[in-house]
Chain A
Amino acid sequence: GAGVSQTPSNKVTEKGKYVELRCDPISGHTALYWYRQSLGQGPEFLIYFQGTGAADDSGLPNDRFFAVRPEGSVSTLKIQRTERGDSAVYLCASSLTGSGSTDTQYFGPGTRLTVL
């Protein structure tokens, strides 16, 4: 079956602009996660959705970052007033239940965001 997909694969924008990054999880997966990976670093947790609701958004760096998942499937990560420091690869992952005892997160290919 299809894995996690993310669009666009690359996004170049100018400082101050607004961007949206999309994630399409594996069909049937109720849990969805966003991570940010800077060059030479491991992925850093941003936000976790269980169904339509954000169960944990403690990783969002500031209020310029926001994510939604209105129908419990596709999610959009929104970044307002982008800054050069936002440049990174944004990874999305999904898992079947979000329950740690049996769950594994499967990752998409990421969106490389470059803020000029």
Chain B
Amino acid sequence: AQKVTQAQTEISVVEKEDVTLDCVYETRDTTYYLFWYKQPPSGELVFLIRRNSFDEQNEISGRYSWNFQKSTSSFNFTITASQVVDSAVYFCALSEPYNNNDMRFGAGTRLTVKP
């Protein structure tokens, strides 16, 4: 069965620090998709990125970057020069398209960025 582990329950940093959120996954499929979502205090899950299992290129989007390593089954998320508005719970998720698309989420990492 697919599984996602986010070992860091809570992280607190000071504004402008870089921070990396870890995500480790388990799956038996060779085709799968990995996601990161942000859940601010308002509660709505905001999509950040989708990565398929055949594309191991790292991605950068502004202050956000993602490091996908199949060898270690990890899909880590780094925020550079963090800002107070980055404070939220961040979820990593995995879906296997041949398993009817149900997406399995990790337990989330609560990030607090202090001014």
Q: Is the CB of A108 within 8 A of B44?
A: yes
The interface residues of chain B lying within 8 Å CB-to-CB of A91 are 45
Asked if B104 lies at the interface with its beta carbon under 8 angstroms from chain A, I say yes
Smallest CB-CB separation from B32: which chain A residue?
A: A100
Minimum Cβ distance to chain A for residue B94 (Å): 11
Number of A-B residue pairs, CB cutoff 8 Å, is 66
The interface residues of chain B lying within 8 Å CB-to-CB of A104 are 35, 47, 50
Asked if A103 lies at the interface with its beta carbon under 8 angstroms from chain B, I say yes
Interface of A is mostly: loop
Complex interface residues of chain A between 47 and 98 (CB less than 8 A to chain B): 48, 55-56, 58-59, 89, 91, 93, 95, 98
Asked if B33 lies at the interface with its beta carbon under 8 angstroms from chain A, I say yes
- What's the Cα separation between A58 and B2 when bound, in Å? 14
Asked if A110 lies at the interface with its beta carbon under 8 angstroms from chain B, I say yes
Q: Is the CB of B50 within 8 A of A48?
A: no
Complex interface residues of chain B between 38 and 73 (CB less than 8 A to chain A): 42-47, 50, 52
- What's the Cα separation between A98 and B93 when bound, in Å? 16
The interface residues of chain B lying within 8 Å CB-to-CB of A40 are 107-108
Instruction: Kindly identify which residue among A31, A42, A93, A109 contacts B91, using a CB–CB cutoff of 8 Å.
Output: A42
Once A42-B93, A104-B47, A109-B44 are accepted as A-B contacts, the answer to whether A48 and B107 lie under 8 Å apart by CB is: no
A residues in contact (CB < 8 Å) with B:
31, 33, 40-45, 48, 55-56, 58-59, 89, 91, 93, 95, 98-101, 103-110
B residues in contact (CB < 8 Å) with A:
4, 31, 33, 35, 37, 42-47, 50, 52, 91, 93, 95-97, 100-108
